Amino acid sequence: AQSVTQLDSQVPVFEEAPVELRCNYSSSVSVYLFWYVQYPNQGLQLLLKYLSGSTLVKGINGFEAEFNKSQTSFHLRKPSVHISDTAEYFCAVSDLGGSNYKLTFGKGTLLTVNP
Amino acid sequence: GAVVSQHPSRVICKSGTSVKIECRSLDFQATTMFWYRQFPKQSLMLMATSNEGSKATYEQGVEKDKFLINHASLTLSTLTVTSAHPEDSSFYICSAFTGVNYGYTFGSGTRLTVV
Protein backbone atom coordinates (compact mmCIF):
# COMPACT_ATOMS: atom_id res chain seq x y z
CA ALA A 1 0.00 0.00 0.00
CA GLN A 2 1.12 3.53 -0.61
CA SER A 3 0.25 6.77 1.11
CA VAL A 4 0.98 10.46 0.78
CA THR A 5 1.26 13.04 3.53
CA GLN A 6 1.09 16.74 2.83
CA LEU A 7 2.25 18.28 6.03
CA ASP A 8 0.65 21.69 5.61
CA SER A 9 -3.05 22.11 4.90
CA GLN A 10 -2.65 25.86 4.30
CA VAL A 11 0.34 27.97 3.35
CA PRO A 12 -0.08 31.75 3.20
CA VAL A 13 2.71 33.75 1.59
CA PHE A 14 3.26 37.21 0.22
CA GLU A 15 3.64 37.89 -3.46
CA GLU A 16 7.21 37.45 -4.79
CA ALA A 17 8.22 35.41 -1.74
CA PRO A 18 9.58 31.87 -2.14
CA VAL A 19 7.42 28.93 -1.17
CA GLU A 20 7.86 25.25 -0.39
CA LEU A 21 4.97 22.80 -0.19
CA ARG A 22 5.94 19.63 1.57
CA CYS A 23 5.08 16.09 0.54
CA ASN A 24 6.17 12.79 2.02
CA TYR A 25 5.20 9.37 0.78
CA SER A 26 5.40 5.78 1.86
CA SER A 27 5.46 2.74 -0.38
CA SER A 28 6.90 -0.73 -0.42
CA VAL A 29 7.76 -0.50 -4.12
CA SER A 30 9.28 2.02 -6.48
CA VAL A 31 6.95 4.90 -7.08
CA TYR A 32 6.28 7.69 -9.48
CA LEU A 33 5.43 11.07 -8.02
CA PHE A 34 3.25 13.91 -9.21
CA TRP A 35 2.22 17.39 -8.23
CA TYR A 36 -1.11 18.75 -9.45
CA VAL A 37 -2.75 22.15 -9.09
CA GLN A 38 -6.49 22.68 -8.82
CA TYR A 39 -8.23 26.01 -9.25
CA PRO A 40 -11.76 26.42 -7.82
CA ASN A 41 -14.37 24.24 -9.52
CA GLN A 42 -11.88 22.85 -11.99
CA GLY A 43 -10.12 19.59 -12.60
CA LEU A 44 -6.47 18.93 -11.87
CA GLN A 45 -3.60 20.24 -13.95
CA LEU A 46 -0.24 18.51 -13.90
CA LEU A 47 2.57 20.72 -12.61
CA LEU A 48 5.37 18.17 -12.81
CA LYS A 49 6.18 14.52 -12.35
CA TYR A 50 9.08 12.33 -11.37
CA LEU A 51 9.40 9.00 -13.14
CA SER A 52 13.16 8.39 -13.10
CA GLY A 53 16.46 10.09 -13.79
CA SER A 54 17.39 13.47 -12.36
CA THR A 55 15.94 13.98 -8.93
CA LEU A 56 15.33 17.67 -9.59
CA VAL A 57 12.25 18.05 -11.72
CA LYS A 58 11.18 21.27 -13.37
CA GLY A 59 7.55 21.88 -14.18
CA ILE A 60 5.24 24.52 -15.51
CA ASN A 61 4.74 28.02 -14.12
CA GLY A 62 8.22 28.11 -12.58
CA PHE A 63 7.65 25.27 -10.13
CA GLU A 64 10.19 22.59 -9.38
CA ALA A 65 10.40 19.61 -7.04
CA GLU A 66 13.15 17.40 -5.71
CA PHE A 67 12.79 13.68 -5.22
CA ASN A 68 14.62 12.50 -2.11
CA LYS A 69 14.49 8.75 -1.81
CA SER A 70 16.21 8.54 1.57
CA GLN A 71 13.76 10.99 3.10
CA THR A 72 10.84 9.72 0.99
CA SER A 73 9.99 13.29 0.11
CA PHE A 74 8.98 15.21 -2.99
CA HIS A 75 8.70 18.84 -1.94
CA LEU A 76 7.43 21.46 -4.36
CA ARG A 77 9.16 24.84 -4.59
CA LYS A 78 8.87 28.13 -6.38
CA PRO A 79 11.39 30.95 -5.87
CA SER A 80 8.90 33.78 -6.35
CA VAL A 81 5.14 33.35 -6.27
CA HIS A 82 2.42 35.37 -7.96
CA ILE A 83 -1.13 36.11 -6.94
CA SER A 84 -2.24 33.76 -9.71
CA ASP A 85 -0.53 30.84 -7.94
CA THR A 86 -3.28 30.87 -5.32
CA ALA A 87 -4.82 27.40 -5.61
CA GLU A 88 -4.98 23.96 -4.07
CA TYR A 89 -1.94 21.76 -4.65
CA PHE A 90 -2.01 17.99 -4.49
CA CYS A 91 0.89 15.58 -4.26
CA ALA A 92 0.21 12.10 -5.61
CA VAL A 93 1.99 8.77 -5.94
CA SER A 94 1.55 5.80 -8.26
CA ASP A 95 3.32 2.50 -8.67
CA LEU A 96 2.27 2.58 -12.34
CA GLY A 97 0.89 -0.87 -12.81
CA GLY A 98 1.18 -2.63 -9.51
CA SER A 99 -2.23 -1.45 -8.35
CA ASN A 100 -3.91 -1.04 -11.72
CA TYR A 101 -2.31 2.38 -12.16
CA LYS A 102 -4.08 3.93 -9.20
CA LEU A 103 -3.06 7.37 -8.06
CA THR A 104 -3.01 8.02 -4.33
CA PHE A 105 -3.43 11.66 -3.35
CA GLY A 106 -2.40 13.66 -0.36
CA LYS A 107 -5.00 15.81 1.38
CA GLY A 108 -3.88 18.92 -0.45
CA THR A 109 -2.27 22.22 0.49
CA LEU A 110 -4.05 25.49 -0.07
CA LEU A 111 -1.53 28.08 -1.19
CA THR A 112 -2.74 31.62 -0.70
CA VAL A 113 -0.62 34.38 -2.15
CA ASN A 114 -1.31 37.77 -0.64
CA PRO A 115 -0.38 41.15 -2.15
CA GLY B 1 -2.32 16.24 -26.54
CA ALA B 2 -3.99 13.91 -24.02
CA VAL B 3 -7.16 15.89 -23.42
CA VAL B 4 -10.08 14.54 -21.44
CA SER B 5 -13.45 16.21 -21.91
CA GLN B 6 -15.97 15.88 -19.10
CA HIS B 7 -19.64 16.85 -19.37
CA PRO B 8 -21.71 18.37 -17.96
CA SER B 9 -19.71 20.81 -15.88
CA ARG B 10 -22.69 21.49 -13.64
CA VAL B 11 -25.96 19.67 -13.12
CA ILE B 12 -28.86 20.12 -10.75
CA CYS B 13 -31.30 17.26 -10.42
CA LYS B 14 -34.24 16.33 -8.27
CA SER B 15 -33.93 13.75 -5.56
CA GLY B 16 -34.74 10.30 -6.89
CA THR B 17 -33.68 10.93 -10.46
CA SER B 18 -30.57 9.64 -12.22
CA VAL B 19 -27.74 11.66 -13.68
CA LYS B 20 -25.16 10.61 -16.24
CA ILE B 21 -21.70 12.15 -16.44
CA GLU B 22 -19.56 11.57 -19.51
CA CYS B 23 -15.82 11.52 -19.85
CA ARG B 24 -14.23 11.40 -23.31
CA SER B 25 -10.62 11.10 -24.32
CA LEU B 26 -10.31 13.37 -27.33
CA ASP B 27 -6.96 12.52 -28.87
CA PHE B 28 -5.93 9.21 -27.40
CA GLN B 29 -7.34 5.86 -26.44
CA ALA B 30 -7.94 5.45 -22.73
CA THR B 31 -7.94 1.82 -21.68
CA THR B 32 -8.05 2.77 -18.02
CA MET B 33 -10.09 5.57 -16.53
CA PHE B 34 -10.75 6.59 -12.96
CA TRP B 35 -13.67 8.27 -11.25
CA TYR B 36 -13.14 10.44 -8.21
CA ARG B 37 -15.38 12.26 -5.81
CA GLN B 38 -14.25 15.39 -4.06
CA PHE B 39 -15.95 16.97 -1.06
CA PRO B 40 -15.47 20.69 -0.36
CA LYS B 41 -11.96 21.53 0.72
CA GLN B 42 -10.95 17.89 0.68
CA SER B 43 -8.82 15.62 -1.42
CA LEU B 44 -9.95 13.36 -4.25
CA MET B 45 -11.45 10.06 -3.21
CA LEU B 46 -11.13 7.29 -5.77
CA MET B 47 -14.51 5.71 -6.41
CA ALA B 48 -13.70 3.19 -9.11
CA THR B 49 -11.35 2.15 -11.87
CA SER B 50 -12.83 1.33 -15.24
CA ASN B 51 -11.13 -0.69 -17.93
CA GLU B 52 -12.47 -0.71 -21.45
CA GLY B 53 -14.65 -3.73 -22.12
CA SER B 54 -14.75 -5.05 -18.58
CA LYS B 55 -16.56 -4.36 -15.34
CA ALA B 56 -15.38 -1.50 -13.20
CA THR B 57 -13.48 -2.14 -10.01
CA TYR B 58 -15.02 -0.24 -7.13
CA GLU B 59 -13.23 0.95 -4.03
CA GLN B 60 -14.34 -0.30 -0.67
CA GLY B 61 -17.44 1.46 0.57
CA VAL B 62 -18.60 2.67 -2.86
CA GLU B 63 -22.03 1.36 -3.83
CA LYS B 64 -21.70 -0.18 -7.28
CA ASP B 65 -25.46 -0.24 -7.81
CA LYS B 66 -25.71 3.44 -7.08
CA PHE B 67 -22.71 4.62 -9.07
CA LEU B 68 -22.88 2.80 -12.38
CA ILE B 69 -19.75 3.01 -14.48
CA ASN B 70 -19.61 2.03 -18.12
CA HIS B 71 -16.46 2.00 -20.24
CA ALA B 72 -17.80 0.57 -23.48
CA SER B 73 -15.27 2.17 -25.81
CA LEU B 74 -11.65 3.30 -25.70
CA THR B 75 -12.73 6.94 -25.73
CA LEU B 76 -15.76 7.07 -23.48
CA SER B 77 -16.48 6.28 -19.87
CA THR B 78 -19.69 7.25 -18.09
CA LEU B 79 -20.71 7.52 -14.47
CA THR B 80 -24.43 7.33 -13.71
CA VAL B 81 -25.61 8.34 -10.27
CA THR B 82 -28.85 6.44 -9.82
CA SER B 83 -31.69 7.52 -7.55
CA ALA B 84 -29.71 10.53 -6.48
CA HIS B 85 -30.08 11.97 -3.00
CA PRO B 86 -28.86 15.25 -1.53
CA GLU B 87 -25.91 13.47 0.09
CA ASP B 88 -24.69 12.55 -3.41
CA SER B 89 -24.11 16.23 -4.10
CA SER B 90 -20.43 16.60 -4.76
CA PHE B 91 -17.74 17.35 -7.32
CA TYR B 92 -17.01 14.37 -9.54
CA ILE B 93 -13.80 14.17 -11.59
CA CYS B 94 -12.68 11.62 -14.15
CA SER B 95 -9.13 10.82 -15.11
CA ALA B 96 -7.48 8.72 -17.78
CA PHE B 97 -4.19 6.93 -17.62
CA THR B 98 -2.30 8.05 -20.68
CA GLY B 99 0.77 5.86 -20.45
CA VAL B 100 4.00 5.77 -18.52
CA ASN B 101 5.44 8.96 -19.98
CA TYR B 102 2.39 11.14 -19.63
CA GLY B 103 0.82 9.78 -16.52
CA TYR B 104 -2.71 10.91 -15.97
CA THR B 105 -5.04 13.49 -17.51
CA PHE B 106 -8.04 14.86 -15.66
CA GLY B 107 -11.41 16.06 -16.80
CA SER B 108 -12.60 19.48 -15.67
CA GLY B 109 -15.06 18.03 -13.20
CA THR B 110 -18.83 17.97 -12.73
CA ARG B 111 -20.56 19.79 -9.90
CA LEU B 112 -23.64 17.72 -9.01
CA THR B 113 -26.32 19.27 -6.83
CA VAL B 114 -29.28 17.13 -5.81
CA VAL B 115 -32.28 19.08 -4.55
Q: What is the pLDDT of residue B103?
A: 79
Q: Given pLDDT bands bounded at 50, 70 and 90, which one contains residue B53? A: confident
- Smallest Cβ–Cβ distance between A43 and the set B32, B97, B108 belongs to B108
C-beta neighbour count of B55 within 10 angstroms: 12
Q: Is the pLDDT of residue A18 over 70?
A: yes
Q: What are the chain A neighbours of B107 within 8 Å (beta carbons)?
A: 43
Q: Given pLDDT bands bounded at 50, 70 and 90, which one contains residue B88? A: very high
Q: Is the pLDDT of residue B82 over 70?
A: yes
Q: What is the pLDDT of residues A33-60, one digit of tens each?
A: 999 999 988 889 999 999 888 899 999 9
Over residues B61-79, the mean pLDDT reads 93
| Among chain A residues, CA nearest to B104 | A46
Over residues A3-23, the mean pLDDT reads 96
In angstroms, the separation between the Cα of residue B97 and the nearest Cα of chain A is 7
| Among chain A residues, CA nearest to B96 | A101
Interchain pair B43, A106: CB under 8 A: yes
In angstroms, the separation between the Cα of residue A108 and the nearest Cα of chain B is 6
Burial bucket for residue B16 (CB in 10 Å: 0-12, 13-18, 19+): exposed
CA separation for the pair A6, B89 (Å, rounded): 26
Q: What is the pLDDT of residues A66-90, one digit of tens each?
A: 999 999 999 999 999 999 999 999 9
Average pLDDT over chain B, rounded to an integer? 92
Q: Is B107 on the interface with A (CB under 8 A)?
A: yes
The backbone torsions φ and ψ at residue B108, rounded to the nearest 5 degrees and listed phi first, read -85, 0
Task: Tell me which residue of A25, A33, A13 sits closest to A78, measured CA to CA.
Answer: A13
